[in-house]
Amino acid sequence: SPSCADDKKRRVSYYYDPGIAPIDFGKEHVMVPARVAMAHSLVGVYGMLGDMRRLRTRPATEAEIRRYHSPEYVGLLRDLTPESYANNASLRQKAQEHHGIGVGGDADCPAFARLWEYCRGYAGGSLAAARAVVDGASDIAINWSGGMHHACHAKASGFCYVNDIVLAINELLDCFRRVIYVDIDAHHGDGVQEAFVDSNRVMTLSFHRYDTKGCRKWFFPGSGDVDEIGKDTGRYYSLNVPLDAGVGDDEYHKLFKPVVGKAMEVFQPEAIVLQCGADSLSGDRLGGMELSVRGHAECVSYLRSFNLPLLLLGGGGYTINHVASTWCYETAVAIGKERELPDEIPRHGYELFYENQGNKLHYRTSPAPASKKSSNTAETTKGKVLEHLSEI
């Protein structure tokens, strides 16, 4: 169980592939893979690379990706390029109609240059991270380029093509009896939930913004109601914590700690996977939530304190300077050096990106105080989730 003063060091592995920097989803697309390069650059300038084992790995193979995705879909990802998409009508039609890729100039999941390389890279990173904790070489393994929680068996969705999380969890299941998956991205972790919906060896627990169905300001992907709890053998092993827009640190942690604490107690996992989507931060272009960097990172500290093998993955995050600040700080939390990071961002080549946050890691947030109504809703939600957990 978690202890407060948690000064014990952890052996940390870290994956970074410089091939991510030039990946471009298209002009003005909100998903900017270069944010991972920015985070890496901060991790370097803060002197943390020497505190971690660097995971050097090959890209995931087609066979590894087929462990979850359909052969047809994997073949399509391999063959899709902007050129084949433009020139091969049957390939294009297959991509659009059956596999969620393309469709319109503002597509969530476009066919961009080096798409296959990108997918193999981030999936390879999450597989290497899983193997690093399986073989006991590391206590914590980090892949900020992973965390693509919406990708399905045969379909791309919400900027995600290959579900590296499902691949990594399957790798963990070869060695651990039970794995808990916690998802703090502002969006519902629907792809991971779907993959393990009938399993009692994987508990999925997503915190996300959720607007009741039929609501005018419906938030993607629209699933993740508190009453979605899994099927058959997996009943009570999929859990969801829907939140209102605007939730800040205090309200978030009134739910996060009791719910995650109870889940750890009743499920007794042997490993933890934490998707650290940074679109739940204050000021994100898409998320509409109000977490501070410390509030977000508190989720990492809390899960770290259970002293179980821990995978830290990335995810969403659309105000890229906030994303990089957060993942840098969370890397420090993993190695136990967060108190040693100066708040002033050192010069490192990307410093201009941080000007509108005053060149501070911990940029200022201004969450509105929680309303009576939203506090009541949160209490009700907490009660329902704890009730589901009491069925285990």
Q: Which does 388 bind (CB under 5 to 8 A by kind): Ca ion, ligand ZLM, Zn ion, none?
A: none
Q: Is 309 in the site for ligand ZLM (CB under 6 A)?
A: no
Q: Is 208 in the site for Ca ion (CB under 5 A)?
A: yes
Q: Is 28 in the site for ligand ZLM (CB under 6 A)?
A: yes
Q: Is 279 in the site for Zn ion (CB under 5 A)?
A: yes
97 or 218, CB closer to Zn ion?
218
300 or 335, CB closer to ligand ZLM?
300
Q: How far is the CB of 312 from ligand ZLM (least distance, A)?
A: 15
Active-site option among 99, 149, 150, 208: 150
Q: How far is the CB of 138 from Zn ion (least distance, A)?
A: 26
Name the one range near ligand ZLM by CB under 6 A: 102-110, 167-175, 248-256, 301-309. 102-110
Draw the binding track, 179-218, toward ligand ZLM (x: CB under 6 A; -: no contact).
------x-x-------------------------------
Among 106, 250, 265, 343, binds ligand ZLM (CB under 6 A): 106
Chain centre to alpha carbon of residue 50: 25
Q: Which does 163 bind (CB under 5 to 8 A by kind): Ca ion, Zn ion, ligand ZLM, none?
A: none
Query: Is the torsion defined by CA of 156, 169, 19, 36 positive or negative?
Result: positive
Q: Which does 183 bind (CB under 5 to 8 A by kind): Ca ion, ligand ZLM, Zn ion, none?
A: Ca ion
- Report the C-alpha gap between 187 and 206 in whole angstroms: 8
Q: Is 185 in the site for Zn ion (CB under 5 A)?
A: yes
Q: Is 190 in the site for Zn ion (CB under 5 A)?
A: no
Among 35, 69, 99, 187, binds Zn ion (CB under 5 A): 187
Q: Is 139 in the site for Zn ion (CB under 5 A)?
A: no
Draw the binding track, 38-57, toward ligand ZLM (x: CB under 6 A; -: no contact).
--------------------
φ, ψ of residue 61 to 5 degrees: the values are -90, 165
Where b means 16+ CB within 10 Å and e means fewer, 300-325 reads bbbbbebebbbbbbbbbbbbbbbbbb
Does residue 150 carry a catalytic annotation?
A: yes
158 or 242, CB closer to ligand ZLM?
158
CA distances from 46 to 16, 254, 319, 338, 349 (A): 16, 32, 21, 11, 13
Q: How far is the CB of 372 from ligand ZLM (least distance, A)?
A: 30
Q: How far is the CB of 118 from Ca ion (least distance, A)?
A: 22
Q: How far is the CB of 151 from Zn ion (least distance, A)?
A: 13
13 or 325, CB closer to Zn ion?
325
Q: Is 109 in the site for ligand ZLM (CB under 6 A)?
A: no
102 or 288, CB closer to Zn ion?
288
Q: Please, are residues 118 and 180 in contact by the beta-carbon 8 Å criterion?
A: no
185 or 338, CB closer to Ca ion?
185
Closest CA to 145 of 55, 264, 262: 55
Q: Are strands 53-55 and 12-15 parallel, antiparallel or unpaired?
A: parallel
Name the one range near Zn ion by CB under 5 A: 38-46, 53-61, 185-193, 303-311. 185-193
Q: Which of residues 164-193 bind Ca ion (CB under 5 A)?
A: 183, 185
Catalytic residues: 150
Q: Which residues bind ligand ZLM (CB under 6 A)?
A: 28-30, 105-106, 108, 148-150, 158-160, 185, 187, 220, 277, 279, 286, 315-316
Q: Which residues bind Zn ion (CB under 5 A)?
A: 185-187, 277, 279, 316
